[in-house]
Amino acid sequence: MLRNGLEPWHLLVVAIMVILLFGSKKLPEAARGLGKSMRILKSEAKAMKEESNVTEPAATYQAAEPAVAESAVAPATEPPATAS
């Protein structure tokens, strides 16, 4: 087959070793856990992609607005209290 590559019997040996190491009961549980993790990862990646698509137009809109000088909006401050 492939020169210096994996042949089908290599994969068979690896599969047998995995079954012997982890046992036949643990493999379905591990596969379920891996599948669940992959679904969570995909949903989070999709949510992040949608979030970035929603925030990008707003960010460009805010950058286009003229900046308001800080002196134009004076914060209301109270005079410091004196100790008697």
Q: How far is CA 70 from CA 35, 73, 74, in A?
A: 53, 6, 7
Q: pLDDT tens for the chain, 84 residues: list them.
A: 456 777 888 889 998 998 888 888 888 888 899 999 999 999 999 999 988 887 655 555 555 555 555 555 555 566 666 665
Angstrom distance (rounded) from CA 84 to CA 82: 6
Size of the chain in residues? 84
Q: Which residues contact residue 7 at a Cβ distance below 8 angstroms, ignoring those fewer than 6 apart? A: 1
Under 8 Å between Cβ of 22 and 30 = yes
Does the model's pTM come out above 0.75? no
